[in-house]
Amino acid sequence: MSTPGPDRSTSARLAKASERLTILAHELHIAVVDAADSGPDLALLAGVSSRLSSHTLDLAEINFAVAEDVVSSSGDARADRSAAALGRVSRVVDPVFEVASEVAAHLVICAERAARTGGALTASHLSALNPALTRLLEENQHLVTGAGVAMAPHTLADEELWMQWFVQGPAGPVQLRPRLDPRSEAFYDYPSAVWFSESAHELAPRLAPPHFDGGGTDTWMVTAAVPVVVQGRFLGLGCAELTLDRIGSLVAPALLAMPAPAALVSPQGVVVASTHPDMHPGTTPPQLALHLASGNGATSFAHISTDLTVARSPALAWQVVADWSASPS
């Protein structure tokens, strides 16, 4: 099955700019909060930071609206319905990217502080992320099940691979310690995992398709990943993850609002959530597989067959497949 290449559309570029602005807003806020002196000027900077964060939300909303317009531009009423569903999904998923963006901002600050001291970035520096990671999980218990950074290979001076990662535990967030020694039988080769490789290759935010996180959480997960680039060097990813069941429940209202059975699928065609009796999470509908293999995977709205349509959001790159055979709409 072929995978669509990087989206160079206006909407895709807007999405990337929005993500960069979000990271910048978090950087500013973190620097202010962590400052030793909390005088009036710093309070003013904190207000600017808050307003900047608000502007990023406005930009994200514009991005979602543009993406909906792109999908519905065919004038087909079915396209309008699909565009609305994709817009709802994007707005539900956006807070997950917000968490990942804040994690990415903390990694930027950590790297810049190490650089100011003249030393190389090491795994010990990343322990400074722990309070932020536990706080983010506590504040987003209803949304994310894990958050952390996954470093690019050979980025740290003392470790070839490294993950600073926390997950929700029965009594609060706990640190995940995957086996990162390639000689270990339980080695967790995260650079080869789809949630890492896609975003690292494109250097763009990505919502990874459903994947079994063997060696990590050992659960079916969906991961929002935001790349961190400092002075032209790719350091790694800031991430937030949630279980497949959780994202299914979050996007269910958007799918249930469709007047036809529908499924949310990844760019690769893997079903994430569904109200269709024959499209189950973790599977790939055969008709969609053929559509993607034909090179039409980047089309905003298309008819796969007489009754089956696929709509792809430029803002999210995910798709809604709808079966209109049981609906007059």
Single pTM value for the model: 0.81
* CB-CB contact of 52 with 44 (8 Å): no
pLDDT tens, position by position, for the chain (329 residues)? 444 445 556 667 677 777 777 887 887 777 677 664 555 456 656 666 776 776 676 667 777 777 788 888 877 888 999 999 999 998 888 899 999 999 999 999 999 989 888 889 999 999 999 999 999 999 999 999 999 999 999 999 999 999 999 999 999 999 999 999 999 888 999 999 989 998 999 898 888 888 887 766 677 889 999 999 998 999 999 999 999 889 989 999 999 999 999 999 988 888 999 999 999 988 888 888 887 877 665 678 888 888 899 998 887 878 999 999 876 55
- Name the DSSP class of 146: E
Strand partners, 322: 262, 309
Nearest by Cα to 68 from 90, 83, 81, 85: 83
- Name the DSSP class of 123: G
- CA of residue 24 relative to chain centroid, distance: 17
Q: What is the pLDDT of residue 295?
A: 67
Residues 6+ apart with CB under 8 A from 244: 210, 220, 221, 222, 272, 281, 282
Helix (H) or strand (E) segment spanning residue 221 = strand 220-230
DSSP 3-state assignment of 150? strand
End-to-end alpha carbon distance in the chain: 31
Q: Output the six-digit token pair for 161.
A: 């691979």
Q: What is the pLDDT of residue 27?
A: 76
Nearest by Cα to 21 from 51, 45, 44, 42: 51
Q: What is the pLDDT of residue 2?
A: 43
Q: What is the pLDDT of residue 236?
A: 98
* Cα 239 from Cα 227, distance rounded (Å): 9
Q: What is the pLDDT of residue 110?
A: 93
* Cα 49 from Cα 47, distance rounded (Å): 5
* Cα 305 from Cα 152, distance rounded (Å): 42
Q: What is the pLDDT of residue 152?
A: 97
Q: What is the pLDDT of residue 47?
A: 61
- CA of residue 223 relative to chain centroid, distance: 6
* CB-CB contact of 239 with 226 (8 Å): yes
Instruction: Give the count of beta carbons closer than 10 Å to the beta carbon of residue 91.
Output: 14
